[in-house]
Structures are given as structure tokens and as C-alpha cells.
Chain A
Amino acid sequence: MKITKFDIIVICLLIIIPLFYIAHQPNGNKKLFLISGNEKKEIQLKDQIIKLNNGDVVIEVTKDGARFIENNCPGNICVKTGWAERCGQTVACVPNRLALVIECEKEAFDAVSR
């Protein structure tokens, strides 16, 4: 059994697909959202500390982004992930259904008339 040309083609294809999406991330107005289960709530990007679940979950927000500084979920992956700062960046804590997302508005129009 040998590595073939076809192998390389398949892998390249599979790499190109996500690269394409990464390259096409929108840039624009940053907005921070806290997602908890089904709810999505916008959080102002300013220096603040947000406590959830009776203080088990602590979120630090600055004008640039946000991160979990305390979280009671196993493994503490979301705390280790660090900051969500750039467009499309997400810090997710799956076990307690929390996520911090930075979304950037795409320019939805070609022009504005005023």
C-alpha cells in the first residue's frame, strides 16, 4: 500500500474548504454575544465582569473582547481557550451550554442613501 496522488488531491481539497471560509471572515463592527443554551444576548464591549450561575461562571469583558476567567465545567476548556477578540472568534463551554462569540457585521449594503 502506498500513498498515491489521489490521496494528496483529497487531502488538499479538504484543506482548501476550511481555508476558504477562514479567508472570507467578515471584518466590521465587532459585537459580543453571550450564548447560553437557546438564548443569545448582546454584551456591551466595555470593561466589566459578569457573573453567572451564582458566581460559578465569571466572564471578563474589555473593550476588545471577552473571556471566561472562571467556569465550573469539567476540563475547563473554555477558560484555557482564553480571549475571544477577533471577528468570528468563539469561546465555547459545551457542558454548561455557554459560549462567548464575537460577531462582526458584514456590510449588508453597497450604499446608504440619506
Chain B
Amino acid sequence: MSKLFSTAFYIILALSLVGCGEEKYQTERFYNMGTFVSLTLPKTKKNKKLTIDVRGRIQELENIIKKATDKANEDKQFCFEGIMNDLHETGIKYAELTDERFSIYAYTIAKEYGFHEGPYRVPSETRIKQLTKNINNLYDLQMDMGAYAKGYIVDKATDLLKEKNVKSAMLNAGGDLYALGKKGDRKWRVAIKHPDFHDKFLSIIDIENIALATSGDYERFFKTDEGERIFHIFDSTTGKNPQYHRSVSVIADTVEEADGLATSFFLMPIDEIAKKCLELKTPVLLYNKDDETTKLCGWEKFENN
């Protein structure tokens, strides 16, 4: 009889091991770049250490960019060097794409509204006109590359994962994310949040080796006394919030591109986006104030049925 029990014991042991054979994933969350970053990797010892390295890389780049940005905003003279030079050139690219509506100096206006540091307030019309003129003349400016710097950092962190031969990972910095490889035998499944409902989604897509970023008017905003919603993206030619969209998501090869384009497209009407996304080959998802969802340049192809 005892022999039978030991047989039973070994069988159960063996079967439970088989049951656990599927690849398990683990998600680590940390706070960086002003948002929660989550890194999902197959659960192994090696990857645990790797998470620390990735966080280190993100922290390092964040510090460099933040220091340089602060210095640029305090000093009268500033030269773009190294990483900052790369980022600056990327900024010029997006400025050209949007006919100067996008500008790294739009922060001059955003800061006046109280963004990032507060308190929130609405500047006078004359002040806004003055500031847009300043941006146009590159005079007395405040700079912020946040629109795509986060994407840049995520790309660098993803490069680190690739260097370490990671075949499957998801790095998500507050919605700006890169899906490396597949998750097990299926693609990574990502939902695009609905601006108004936390449990509703505009679209659900399956992606692999590609980046996704979303810009919306619902993440950082305040309401004026008149009930108007003021959010953190400003058109540097008018000094006002663009009103074309409420949410813009872009799929691109790098997170920097997805991130930058999501902000740039936020400043552009639909017909212009439709042309540009064909050129750039970047699928786009738009959601506007009238509750309409628009899918452009092959977004549907990523949606699971």
C-alpha cells in the first residue's frame, strides 16, 4: 500500500511540474520620467537583474535630459550637445511636419498656464500673443522636449534589452510603449484607453516588435472657472490648446517616433494627418469631441477580431 502512495505522490508531483511548464511573465513597476513605468519580462533570475539595469539606464538618461533642460531654461545662452543635440534635431523635424505648430518651446506657454509646476491659471490674451511672438522670434524661451524625450529614453532602454538578448518584453512608460517580440505564442495585446471611462477602450491591438504612443487631453489638465478644459499640449502659433482631437495614438517603429507623432498629430486636422501618415507609414487612431473614432493608415490591421 505504501508503495502505491509513493507512486501517487510522484505522479502528482510530475504532473504539477508539467502544469507549470508554460512561460510565466513578471511585471515590475517603478516611477520614472514623471510616470509609472512597467517592464514585463519572462520570469527568470537573469531578468530580475536586468530590470534593475533597465531602470538604471532610464534614470541615467532622465537625469541627463532633465539637467540639460533645466540649465537651458535658466541660462541665457545654451548649446545643444550630445543627446540634447539629437533630441533638438528631432524637435525640428516635428516642427516642420506641423508647420511650426509643434515646438519644443511651446513650454513657454504651457508654463504660463502653470503646467508641470502649478498653480494653474489662464494668462491674458495679450500675454499669450506676446509669448507666441517670442517663440516665433526665438526670444526668452522655455524649452521642454517631454513630447518625445520619454519615447527616446524608452527606445534606449529597449536597446539595452535587445543587447542582453531578450526576445520577449513589454516596456510601458505611461502608455508610451514598446512590444519586443511576442508574449509566449501570441502577440502583445494593448488597449487604448477611452478618454472618459477608465474601463472602456477605443481599440485593442495586437502588436509585435513595434512601438505605440498616445497623446490625450485627459491626462494632465485643469478646468477654468468657465468649465473649459485646458490641457498640456499647446499650439505654438496660437498659444491655445488644439481642438481637433481628444486622443491620438500612433504605431511606429520607435517609441520616440510614435511619441513625437502622437503629439504632432494632436496639432493637425484629420485630412493633414491622413496624408502624413501615408508618407510616414504609421497607423493612427483618432478620437474627437463628437465621440467619433477614426482609424487611418492601416490601424485596423493591428486590431484583433
A and B associate: yes
Tell me how many residue pairs across A and B have CB atoms closer than 8 Å. 74
Q: What DSSP secondary structure best describes chain A's contact surface?
A: helix
CB of B172 closer than 8 Å to a CB of A: yes
Of all A-B residue pairs in the complex, the 3 with the closest CB atoms, nearest first, are A114-B193, A113-B175, A114-B175
CB of A1 closer than 8 Å to a CB of B: no
Bound complex: CA A69 to CA B8 (Å): 42
Instruction: Known A16-B12, A110-B183, A111-B188; judge A5-B170 contact (CB<8 A).
Output: no
CB distance from B100 to the nearest CB of A (A): 27
Q: Is the CB of A113 within 8 A of B11?
A: no
Chain-B contact segment, one of A6-14, A40-48, A57-65, A73-81: A6-14
Give the residue among A9, A16, A19 with the most B Cβ atoms within 10 A: A16
Instruction: Give the residue of A3, A12, A109 whose beta carbon is less than 8 angstroms from that of B11.
Output: A12
Bound complex: CA A109 to CA B190 (Å): 5
Q: Which residues of B contact A (CB under 8 A)?
A: 4, 7-8, 11-12, 15-16, 19, 38, 40, 170, 172, 174-177, 179, 183, 188-193, 201, 204, 212-214, 216, 218-219, 249
CB distance from A101 to the nearest CB of B (A): 19
CB of A108 closer than 8 Å to a CB of B: yes
Instruction: Known A3-B4, A5-B4, A8-B4; judge A114-B11 contact (CB<8 A).
Output: no
Bound complex: CA A101 to CA B40 (Å): 32
Bound complex: CA A114 to CA B246 (Å): 11
CB-CB under 8 A from A23, the residues of chain B are: 19
What 1/0 flags go to A85-114 for Cβ under 8 Å of B?
000000000000000000000001111111
